[in-house]
Structure 1
Amino acid sequence: MSQDNIKFAYWVPNVSGGLVVSKIEQRTSWDIDYNRKLAQIAEKAGFEYALSQIRFTAGYGAENQHESVTISHALLAATEKLKVIAAILPGPWSPVLAAKQLATIDQFTNGRVAVNIVSGWFKGEFRAIGEPWLDHDERYRRSEEFIQALKGIWTQDNFSFHGDFYRFHDYTLKPKPLQQPHPEIFQGGSSRAARDMASRVSDWYFTNGNTVEGIKAQVDDIRAKAAINGHSVKVGVNAFVIARETEAEARAVLQEIIAKADPEAVNGFGSEAKNAGASSPEGEGNWAKSTFEDLVQYNDGFKTNLIGTPKQIAERIVALKAVGVDLVLSGFLHFQEEVEYFGRKVLPLVRELEREAVATKAVA
């Protein structure tokens, strides 16, 4: 188990409809005032990161969306310590635009911006905005070049790069970001191409929710590949958190979310997502084995099973840490009140269990 404390991030609800595709009441709003207050609550609660979402078109319960880089900057301006990860989609963004935007924000916020490179899963969105839809592994090849270009622009003067997707000739960006060597680079995906890309170029790898055993297999795989490449990568896992005073209360909330799911939206999302993953050479990827119930939460967050009492959830988080997870990326039903509750009830128990684990190891 790592000596470092496990870190916590939350999904920024900058997209309407919350984090579940359900008609259950969600006391969560996508507007900026709600999100500013939420960022302040999360920072006080002990969250280190927030992850903004990128969507360009409506669908699957998300009728309205605020653009990710803009809202990330707004949340950074409202906080003092929180780091905000802006989701960026190669295609609509070029590496030079992303590098310039994020370097400026990094300068303005004392080094608190990061980036999540999203390779793309929503073919209809690309079609709607006139962007070419590449084959599965080509999307990851483009993302890898995007990251290589970001790193080069941020760390070198007279940067030159000759890839299949991007080319630069003696380009110098000034000012560069404050963070050294550069802002943290996150990516997601569950396919072989996604894991291999992370093992070469990314600082962080996000995986969908899964069992402890399933996550361990992914962590072991990606760390072994990274070691061969002389690279190191940290791992974050998605989880939808339902923390209540009793397990029965928490399970009842889960059942109500699923019972009130929007079947048309869930099935539509599942079809798009699974088609994207099925086009990978191994026929897998995000959501390849997801059931209808799993897809009610966009990123298989129910599978991680952070559902129950604060003590149960804390124990499960420490079990994730024991198999190599460095960060929990969390979604909630009612974000402001539940993030506050998590910080007050769950996080102190996690830290206590981490201290006990370190002490036990020292004695042994």
Structure 2
Amino acid sequence: MSLRASSEPIRFAYWVPNVSGGLVISKVPQRTSWDAAYNRKLAQIAEEAGFDYALTQIRFTAGYGAEYQHESVAFSHALAAATTRLTVIAAILPGPWNPTLAAKQIATISELTEGRIAINLVSGWFSGEFRAIGEPWLDHDERYRRSEEFLRSLRGIWTQDNFTFRGDFYRYTNYTLKPKPERLPEIFQGGSSRAARDMAARVSDWYFTNGNTPEGIKAQVADLQAKARENGHSVKVGVNAFVIARETEEEARAVLQEIIDHADPDAVKAFGHEVKNAGKASPEGEGNWAKSTFEDLVQYNDGFKTNLIGTPDQIAERIVALKDAGVDLALLAFLHFQEEVKYFGDEVIPRVRALEAARAERAEAA
């Protein structure tokens, strides 16, 4: 077990359901809503439950069961305004956004919320969405190159007066933004391709990966951290997971089966086709979702693969195993968000903290 894993508690984030349909491509009944009132209450429940972050989604067009979408930055501000400790991560997509607008939006929200705003920089996987809104669709690695310039531009605008930058996608000449954020917003970034990991190893604060086993995650983390060390950089890791916590494992597995049994086959296949094509466009021909089965794709980010499905004791032990593999944050989705986030806070997080404390004591005694 690494020193980092033994000394820092794992953090928790949840996917904000600001998009209709929840976090599964399934017609299973859900007590989750995409509306503002539901999400404000959910943010308050999550904060009380012990969550550190909430991640809003960015979608511009309907599809895969998500017909309605609230814009991520405005929605993130609303959730931060409804809470006192929660940090909200706003998804931002280069192309529709440029760094000037994003820097100004986030700096303003940071001042209004005492710094409780961050960014998830999404390089793009949905080519149809870009075509629908008239945005150019770049080659795979070009999207990550643009994202890196976007990120470097944000940091420059937030930290320098008379910022000057000459990139292939963005250019600045003696640009000064005031007020700047008092606390530099954290920047999250996802992807499993070589380009995604290399970008994270150079410039991102956090790297999100799709759901996976501890062994699979450990290999990704080892690769990422080796590259980061070569660059003199430090990056933390978050993993996606779908949580089904019930009193018995049988109950939890039955819920999983019900979600899969009610999956929308056409929507799942269309989503799988889109995301796998995006990965195949990378030089190595593989990215997020490359090895995902139909059942995996029912949850948008391979969340079933992480296997946080079972009793609170089982889930707590698996979370600590993820931490041992190098995970700093668990990004969680649920079927019935409000009640399940509360249950997770009541029953799972205390067990995780107890396991972490016991391990720390053993490490200190050794």
Normalised to the residue count of structure 1, the TM-score between the two structures is: 0.99
- Structure 1, unpaired ranges of 5+: none
Equivalent residue, structure 2, for 1:283: 285
- Give the one of 13, 17, 20 matched to 1:16: 20
- Give the one of 174, 179, 190 matched to 1:175: 179
- Structure 1 residue ranges (4+ consecutive) displaced by more than 3 angstroms after TM superposition: none
- Give the one of 308, 328, 331 matched to 1:329: 331
Q: Distance in 2 between matches of 1:44 and 1:113?
A: 18
Equivalent residue, structure 2, for 1:296: 298
Equivalent residue, structure 1, for 2:351: 349
- Give the one of 254, 270, 273 matched to 1:271: 273
Paired residue type of 2:158: W
| Shift of residue 363, structure 1, vs aligned partner | 1.2
| Shift of residue 285, structure 1, vs aligned partner | 0.5
Equivalent residue, structure 2, for 1:210: 212
Equivalent residue, structure 2, for 1:125: 129
Equivalent residue, structure 2, for 1:134: 138
Give the root-mean-square deviation of aligned CA atoms.
0.4
Equivalent residue, structure 1, for 2:361: 359
Asked if residue 189 in structure 1 is aligned to residue 195 in structure 2, the reply is no
Q: Distance in 2 between matches of 1:166 and 1:315?
A: 45
Q: Distance in 2 between matches of 1:284 and 1:100?
A: 35
Equivalent residue, structure 2, for 1:260: 262
Paired residue type of 1:213: E
Equivalent residue, structure 2, for 1:60: 64
Paired residue type of 1:216: K
Q: Distance in 2 between matches of 1:249 and 1:229?
A: 47
Equivalent residue, structure 2, for 1:81: 85
Equivalent residue, structure 1, for 2:110: 106
- Residue deviations 1:124-144, cap 9 Å, x none? 000000000000000000000
Q: Secondary structure at the match of 1:241?
A: strand
- Residue deviations 1:113-157, cap 9 Å, x none? 000000000000000000000000000000000000000000111
Q: Distance in 2 between matches of 1:19 and 1:178?
A: 34
Equivalent residue, structure 1, for 2:248: 246
Q: Distance in 1 between matches of 2:30 and 2:221?
A: 33
- Give the one of 33, 40, 51 matched to 2:37: 33
Q: Distance in 2 between matches of 1:237 and 1:26?
A: 24
Equivalent residue, structure 2, for 1:312: 314
Paired residue type of 2:232: G
| Shift of residue 178, structure 1, vs aligned partner | 1.9
Aligned positions, number:
362
Q: Distance in 1 between matches of 2:60 and 2:27?
A: 22
- Give the one of 159, 164, 186 matched to 1:160: 164
- Give the one of 98, 101, 116 matched to 1:94: 98
Identity %: 77
Paired residue type of 1:102: I
Q: Distance in 1 between matches of 2:306 and 2:339?
A: 21
| Shift of residue 323, structure 1, vs aligned partner | 1.3
Paired residue type of 1:133: W
Q: Distance in 1 between matches of 2:109 and 2:72?
A: 13
Paired residue type of 2:58: I
